[in-house]
Amino acid sequence: MTQDTNGAEGPVTENAELAVGPVPEVESIKTLLEAFEDATFEVRSYASSDVTYHAISVPVGDWVAFAETAKAAGYDLFVDLAGIDHFSEAPRFEVVLNLVSMTESQRIIVSTRVPYDDPTVPTVTGVFVGANFYEREAYDLVGIDFPGHPDLTRILMPDDWEGHPLRKDYDIGAIPVEFKSGSVDL
Protein backbone atom coordinates (compact mmCIF):
# COMPACT_ATOMS: atom_id res chain seq x y z
CA MET A 1 0.00 0.00 0.00
CA THR A 2 1.74 3.15 -1.15
CA GLN A 3 -0.89 5.66 -0.15
CA ASP A 4 -0.54 7.93 2.82
CA THR A 5 -1.83 6.40 6.00
CA ASN A 6 -3.88 9.44 6.83
CA GLY A 7 -6.63 8.01 4.76
CA ALA A 8 -7.96 11.36 3.70
CA GLU A 9 -4.88 11.74 1.51
CA GLY A 10 -4.50 10.02 -1.81
CA PRO A 11 -7.06 9.72 -4.54
CA VAL A 12 -10.24 10.61 -2.72
CA THR A 13 -13.40 9.66 -4.51
CA GLU A 14 -16.85 10.68 -3.43
CA ASN A 15 -18.92 8.11 -1.65
CA ALA A 16 -21.22 6.67 -4.27
CA GLU A 17 -24.71 7.73 -3.27
CA LEU A 18 -27.18 4.94 -2.92
CA ALA A 19 -29.78 5.30 -5.60
CA VAL A 20 -32.91 6.93 -4.27
CA GLY A 21 -35.42 4.73 -5.96
CA PRO A 22 -39.17 4.69 -5.73
CA VAL A 23 -40.94 4.14 -2.42
CA PRO A 24 -40.27 0.63 -1.11
CA GLU A 25 -43.05 -1.85 -1.55
CA VAL A 26 -42.69 -3.41 1.86
CA GLU A 27 -44.97 -1.59 4.28
CA SER A 28 -42.73 -1.74 7.35
CA ILE A 29 -39.73 -0.36 5.48
CA LYS A 30 -41.88 2.36 3.98
CA THR A 31 -42.92 3.61 7.42
CA LEU A 32 -39.34 3.29 8.64
CA LEU A 33 -38.03 5.48 5.85
CA GLU A 34 -40.80 8.01 6.30
CA ALA A 35 -39.66 8.52 9.88
CA PHE A 36 -36.08 9.21 8.79
CA GLU A 37 -35.88 11.77 6.02
CA ASP A 38 -32.14 11.47 5.47
CA ALA A 39 -32.21 7.73 4.97
CA THR A 40 -31.71 6.39 1.46
CA PHE A 41 -32.27 2.89 0.32
CA GLU A 42 -31.54 0.39 -2.39
CA VAL A 43 -33.16 -2.96 -3.09
CA ARG A 44 -30.80 -5.83 -3.80
CA SER A 45 -31.72 -9.36 -4.65
CA TYR A 46 -30.05 -12.64 -3.77
CA ALA A 47 -28.10 -14.51 -6.42
CA SER A 48 -30.42 -16.07 -9.03
CA SER A 49 -33.37 -15.73 -6.70
CA ASP A 50 -36.29 -13.37 -6.24
CA VAL A 51 -35.56 -12.92 -2.55
CA THR A 52 -34.67 -9.28 -1.91
CA TYR A 53 -33.26 -7.25 0.93
CA HIS A 54 -33.04 -3.52 1.53
CA ALA A 55 -29.75 -1.72 1.98
CA ILE A 56 -30.49 1.47 3.91
CA SER A 57 -28.00 4.25 4.49
CA VAL A 58 -28.53 6.58 7.45
CA PRO A 59 -26.50 9.47 8.87
CA VAL A 60 -24.55 8.60 12.02
CA GLY A 61 -26.78 10.85 14.11
CA ASP A 62 -29.80 8.68 13.40
CA TRP A 63 -27.98 5.40 14.03
CA VAL A 64 -29.37 4.39 17.42
CA ALA A 65 -32.78 5.94 16.79
CA PHE A 66 -33.05 4.00 13.56
CA ALA A 67 -32.13 0.75 15.28
CA GLU A 68 -34.75 1.38 17.96
CA THR A 69 -37.44 2.24 15.43
CA ALA A 70 -36.57 -0.77 13.32
CA LYS A 71 -36.78 -3.02 16.34
CA ALA A 72 -40.18 -1.62 17.19
CA ALA A 73 -41.26 -2.13 13.58
CA GLY A 74 -40.60 -5.86 13.84
CA TYR A 75 -36.92 -6.06 12.85
CA ASP A 76 -36.04 -7.63 16.16
CA LEU A 77 -33.65 -10.40 15.13
CA PHE A 78 -30.16 -8.97 15.43
CA VAL A 79 -28.05 -10.75 12.84
CA ASP A 80 -24.79 -8.97 12.30
CA LEU A 81 -22.73 -5.83 12.77
CA ALA A 82 -19.47 -5.15 11.00
CA GLY A 83 -17.00 -2.40 10.25
CA ILE A 84 -15.63 -1.71 6.79
CA ASP A 85 -12.68 0.45 5.81
CA HIS A 86 -13.24 2.14 2.45
CA PHE A 87 -9.86 3.87 2.67
CA SER A 88 -9.89 6.23 -0.29
CA GLU A 89 -13.52 7.29 -0.10
CA ALA A 90 -14.46 10.45 1.72
CA PRO A 91 -16.14 9.22 4.90
CA ARG A 92 -13.66 6.43 5.32
CA PHE A 93 -15.34 3.94 7.64
CA GLU A 94 -18.67 2.23 7.31
CA VAL A 95 -20.59 0.29 9.92
CA VAL A 96 -23.29 -2.09 8.75
CA LEU A 97 -26.07 -3.50 10.86
CA ASN A 98 -28.05 -6.48 9.68
CA LEU A 99 -31.59 -6.93 11.02
CA VAL A 100 -34.32 -9.38 10.15
CA SER A 101 -38.07 -9.25 10.59
CA MET A 102 -39.24 -12.80 11.11
CA THR A 103 -42.91 -11.99 10.71
CA GLU A 104 -42.42 -10.45 7.27
CA SER A 105 -39.36 -12.48 6.20
CA GLN A 106 -37.56 -9.25 5.35
CA ARG A 107 -33.96 -8.27 5.85
CA ILE A 108 -32.54 -4.77 6.14
CA ILE A 109 -28.87 -3.88 6.06
CA VAL A 110 -28.45 -0.48 7.67
CA SER A 111 -25.19 1.32 7.09
CA THR A 112 -23.64 4.56 8.22
CA ARG A 113 -20.40 6.32 7.34
CA VAL A 114 -17.95 7.97 9.71
CA PRO A 115 -14.77 9.92 8.87
CA TYR A 116 -11.20 8.96 9.70
CA ASP A 117 -10.71 11.82 12.20
CA ASP A 118 -13.67 10.75 14.29
CA PRO A 119 -14.50 7.08 13.81
CA THR A 120 -17.17 6.95 16.46
CA VAL A 121 -20.57 5.35 16.11
CA PRO A 122 -22.91 5.30 19.10
CA THR A 123 -23.40 1.82 20.46
CA VAL A 124 -26.55 -0.18 19.79
CA THR A 125 -25.96 -2.51 22.73
CA GLY A 126 -28.77 -0.65 24.48
CA VAL A 127 -31.14 -1.82 21.76
CA PHE A 128 -29.70 -5.25 21.03
CA VAL A 129 -27.69 -6.89 23.82
CA GLY A 130 -26.12 -9.18 21.24
CA ALA A 131 -24.31 -6.27 19.58
CA ASN A 132 -21.77 -6.46 22.39
CA PHE A 133 -19.35 -8.96 20.82
CA TYR A 134 -19.88 -7.62 17.32
CA GLU A 135 -18.99 -4.07 18.32
CA ARG A 136 -15.95 -5.36 20.15
CA GLU A 137 -14.93 -7.13 16.96
CA ALA A 138 -15.43 -4.00 14.86
CA TYR A 139 -13.39 -2.04 17.39
CA ASP A 140 -10.67 -4.67 17.50
CA LEU A 141 -10.27 -5.26 13.77
CA VAL A 142 -11.30 -1.97 12.15
CA GLY A 143 -10.76 0.48 15.00
CA ILE A 144 -14.20 2.00 15.27
CA ASP A 145 -15.06 3.50 18.63
CA PHE A 146 -18.48 2.79 20.11
CA PRO A 147 -19.12 5.30 22.93
CA GLY A 148 -21.48 3.87 25.51
CA HIS A 149 -20.40 0.28 24.99
CA PRO A 150 -20.14 -1.43 28.39
CA ASP A 151 -16.88 -3.28 27.76
CA LEU A 152 -15.06 -2.11 24.65
CA THR A 153 -11.96 -4.31 24.72
CA ARG A 154 -10.18 -6.33 22.09
CA ILE A 155 -11.86 -9.63 21.43
CA LEU A 156 -9.97 -11.58 18.76
CA MET A 157 -6.50 -10.03 18.93
CA PRO A 158 -4.36 -10.08 22.09
CA ASP A 159 -4.85 -7.22 24.53
CA ASP A 160 -1.49 -5.62 23.82
CA TRP A 161 -1.85 -5.70 20.05
CA GLU A 162 -1.10 -2.50 18.21
CA GLY A 163 -3.17 -1.34 15.29
CA HIS A 164 -6.37 -2.60 13.76
CA PRO A 165 -5.67 -5.42 11.29
CA LEU A 166 -8.63 -5.00 8.94
CA ARG A 167 -7.77 -1.40 8.15
CA LYS A 168 -6.45 -1.08 4.65
CA ASP A 169 -3.31 0.75 5.76
CA TYR A 170 -2.35 -2.06 8.13
CA ASP A 171 0.78 -3.73 6.84
CA ILE A 172 0.27 -7.44 6.38
CA GLY A 173 3.99 -8.07 6.54
CA ALA A 174 6.17 -10.68 4.92
CA ILE A 175 7.52 -14.13 5.68
CA PRO A 176 11.28 -14.58 5.92
CA VAL A 177 12.43 -17.34 3.59
CA GLU A 178 15.36 -19.55 4.42
CA PHE A 179 18.24 -19.93 1.95
CA LYS A 180 17.03 -17.02 -0.14
CA SER A 181 18.07 -13.53 0.68
CA GLY A 182 15.08 -11.39 1.29
CA SER A 183 11.51 -12.36 1.92
CA VAL A 184 8.27 -13.15 0.21
CA ASP A 185 5.84 -10.26 0.19
CA LEU A 186 2.30 -11.24 0.92
- Of 160, 175, 181, 184, the residue at the interface with other proteins (CB under 8 A) is 160
Those residues whose C-beta lies under 8 Å from the C-beta of residue 40, and which sit 6 or more positions away, are 17, 18, 19, 20, 56, 57
**163 near other proteins (CB under 8 A):** no
Comparison of 59 and 74: residue with beta carbon closer to other proteins: 74
Exposure string for 107-119, b = 16+ CB within 10 A, e = fewer: bbbbbbbbebeeb
Q: Which parts of 55-94 interact with other proteins (CB under 8 A)?
A: 55, 76-80, 82, 84-86
Question: Which positions from 164 to 183 touch other proteins by CB under 8 A, shown as an x/- string?
Answer: -xx-----x-----------
Q: Which of 160, 46, 138 is nearest to 83 (CA)?
A: 138
Strands across the sheet containing 77-85: 40-45, 52-57, 106-114, 93-101, 77-85
Question: Which residues of this chain interact with other proteins, rule CB under 8 A?
Answer: 44-49, 51, 53, 55, 76-80, 82, 84-86, 96, 98, 102, 105, 107, 109, 125, 128-130, 132-134, 137, 141, 150-151, 153-160, 165-166, 172, 186
